[in-house]
Amino acid sequence: MSAAGLPERVRIMEVGPRDGLQNEPGVVPTGAKIRFIEGLAGAGFSDIEVTSFVSPRAVPQLADAAEVCAALPKRSDLRLVALVPNEKGLERALEAGIRAVAVFTAASESFTKKNVRMTIDESFEAFRPVAARAHKEGLWLRGYVSTAFACPYEGAVDPSRVADVTSRLFDLGAHEVSIGDTIGVAVPADVDRLLALLLKRFPAGKLAMHFHDTRGTAIANVEASLRAGISVFDSSAGGLGGCPYAPGAGGNLATEDLIYLLDRLGVHTGVSLEGVMAASRELARSMGRPLPSKVLQAGGVMRPLGPAT
């Protein structure tokens, strides 16, 4: 912790190539995806979620997962993560050389049904062999809890349900659990309430926060999470993103906006803001449209201001 009561460093899980590109209406060419990930890798991330090995019928945008993974540089200082919903997904990920996988479920039944066509209990049945094999192969395993604040179909979600699903993911052997505001409705008071409960049960270092910025509250929620002791955040370069099975899910918190805040707070990330902006700009050119990140649109800072404290 710094003197200001914030973590001294934050690890960012860059999810743009997965959470961002899964929601694009058009198909982004495989080559553009690979260049995007290479640009991000050059910006200094330690973790990039590169794709999903899900059903290509469910998410056609990521049907080229194997080709993308095959083209990526394998570096010991860069964890390439892929989403897998079941054993078939894990098998495909292993064949593609992936050594870190994420399983995903939610705190609400209706969303889980729409997203993976399973109940929450059935999703855990599907994860059991995935976790066992991941453990045997020495893979890093992440778990996601979606709809941690509200469900697009059921409304508000009770924090105790989030804690229960989180606990089941840790029981499976997840090294880290990411708590998702899938439809971007949370405000800092919601974050305080949820984290007050979660941090009684789980160490802060094993939790990540995953905010979508649908209503512009993601950056405020990051500050609330930092003050509670969270030091891992998911974000998406350019602010791309959303979930095809969550109506109203806007883009993820933009990585540029997150790094700008952290740089100004004097919290170390190891990631170059300019490097991320360059990767986002190149992707925006190949997609033929601007990306929503505010910091990206502002065009950077002519004279860097340095930490505010």
Contact footprint for ligand HMG (CB under 6 A):
19, 22, 52-56, 58-59, 83, 85-86, 88-89, 92, 104, 115-117, 144, 146, 180, 182, 210, 212, 243, 245
Q: Are 252 and 19 in contact (CB under 8 A)?
A: yes
Q: Which residue is nearest to ligand HMG (CB)?
A: 180
Q: Which of 243, 258, 262, 291 is catalytic?
A: 243
- Concatenating the DSSP letter of every residue in 116-136 gives HSS-HHHHHHHHHHHHHHHHH
Q: Name which position in 19, 190, 213, 256 contacts Mg ion (CB under 5 A).
A: 19
Q: How far is the CB of 171 from ligand HMG (least distance, A)?
A: 19
Residue 306 backbone class (left: φ over 0; alpha: ψ -120 to 50; beta: rest):
left
Residue 69 annotated in active site: no
Q: Give the type of residue at 187.
A: V
Pick the closest to residue 257 from 303, 213, 224 (CA basis): 213
Q: How far is the CB of 232 from ligand HMG (least distance, A)?
A: 14
Place of tokens 């604040």: 149
Q: With contacts defined by CB under 5 A, name the span among 15-23, 106-114, 265-273, 286-294 that binds Mg ion.
A: 15-23
Q: Which is nearer to Mg ion, 19 or 47 (CB)?
A: 19
- As to burial, measured by CB atoms within 10 angstroms (0-12 exposed, 13-18 middle, 19+ buried), residue 261 is buried
Helix (H, G, I), strand (E, B) or coil at 195: helix
Q: How far is the CB of 113 from Mg ion (least distance, A)?
A: 17
Q: Which is nearer to ligand HMG, 97 or 307 (CB)?
A: 97
Q: Are 111 and 146 in contact (CB under 8 A)?
A: yes
Pick the closest to residue 99 from 135, 62, 59, 143 (CA basis): 135
Q: Which is nearer to ligand HMG, 252 or 275 (CB)?
A: 252
- Residue 190: contacted member of Mg ion, ligand HMG, none (CB under 5 to 8 Å, by partner type): none
- Residue 260: contacted member of Mg ion, ligand HMG, none (CB under 5 to 8 Å, by partner type): none
Helix (H, G, I), strand (E, B) or coil at 26: coil
Q: How far is the CB of 142 from ligand HMG (least distance, A)?
A: 9
Q: How far is the CB of 10 from Mg ion (least distance, A)?
A: 18
Six token digits for residue 219:
């950056």
Six token digits for residue 164:
């229960």
Interface positions, 191-210, toward Mg ion (CB under 5 A): none
Angle at 99 between CA 52 and CA 31, to 5 degrees: 50
Return the biggest CA–CA distance within the chain.
53
Q: Which residue is nearest to Mg ion (CB)?
A: 19
Q: Which is nearer to ligand HMG, 104 or 260 (CB)?
A: 104
Any idea which residues carry the catalytic annotation? 243
Binding stretches for Mg ion (CB under 5 A): 19
